[in-house]
Amino acid sequence: MDRTMSAVSIIVACCLALSACTSTKSADATGPSLTKEEQQFIDDYKAEVGVGRNMAGRLVAFYGEYLDPGLTEYINQVGRYVASNGDYPDRRYMFAVLDADSPNAFACPGGYILVTRGAIKSAQNEAELAAILGHESAHVGKQHMFKTLKNMNKQDVEKAEAEAASRKRPDKFSRARARPVAQEDETGSALAKLMMTASGAGLGILQAAKAGMGLLLEKGLDKEMEFEADREGVKYAIRAGYEPKALDQFLARLAEAKKKNSDKTVMDVTHPAIADRRKAIAEVLSKMSADEIIGAVGKDRFDAGRATLMAKKKG
């Protein structure tokens, strides 16, 4: 396979194959029939992947993808390792890098996780990267975005869609190529009935993806979901053997940077205040007696993994 193929393109191909395979098996009259609960699980998962795939495509089209195969492979290695130590190790997690300076990361339903090169530059070691990706994998495992979309009423969906449409794409891309956004296919249309809002109106895959994009860039998830992702992400990273205070150290550095540049970023708008996040993380670390845990930092491997990215920064 051509290593220059983007990570997101590979993700889409894999999920389409998974969807087709699942559909064939379900429809095979000669095979064992599925229970109602099993079929519901499959349908829900297909809907979740459909929404997440479209959302990830929109984020890539918005920011551009940072095309560095070595870095993308490294991010996937770390992210999948941390996720394997989480509460949902059987889920499929796929990672890619967005061409954006501002430090941030996004978790789309179905396991699509996108981290900005700004976040990678802001981190100082693999433990911090692992904690960031642990936070995002917790969002996926807990189905935070998917559940939020299913519970939105018609007015909130329309508002989120409008906010996503009003967002202007950043003007400069270092080496990214904008990718076409996947449209809602027949499978997505058939699954629209699964995305039921509080008002009882069916929310299609395409509409859900647009609304999810608006939430990611304008409003964010419920703050309690963000605190939960922090708590769980820290636990996942610690189980994976990393330095317990890594996420707190990363957030502390972001807070210091904000003193020099008070401009609001997407992360500032869509997440709780850093001071509140650090307080919640401190409580988790205290309960886990984290001071007694010796974890890996992974400085050398991290520097090697992002070497090309940092070289471009200096050039």
pLDDT, tens digit (0-9, with 9 covering 90-100), for 178-199: 444 454 444 444 444 444 444 3
Task: Give how many domains the chain has, as a whole number.
Answer: 1
Alpha helices in the chain (DSSP H): 7-27, 36-63, 69-84, 117-122, 126-141, 144-150, 154-166, 186-190, 205-214, 223-239, 246-260, 266-270, 274-287, 299-305, 307-314
Per residue in 142-186, pLDDT (tens digit) is 999 999 998 888 888 888 878 777 776 664 444 444 444 454 444
- Average confidence score pLDDT of the chain: 83
Residue 145 domain flag: yes
Give domain status of residue 60, yes or no. Answer: yes
Q: Report the pLDDT value the prediction gives residue 159, as an integer from 0 to 100.
A: 85
**Does residue 1 fall inside a structural domain?**
no
Classify residue 2: in a domain, yes or no: no
Q: What domain range includes position 30?
A: 7-314
Least confident of 176-190, 202-216, 221-235: 176-190
In a domain, 87, yes or no: yes
CA distance 50 to 15: 9
Identify whether 209 is part of a domain. yes
Q: Is the pTM of this model over 0.85?
A: no
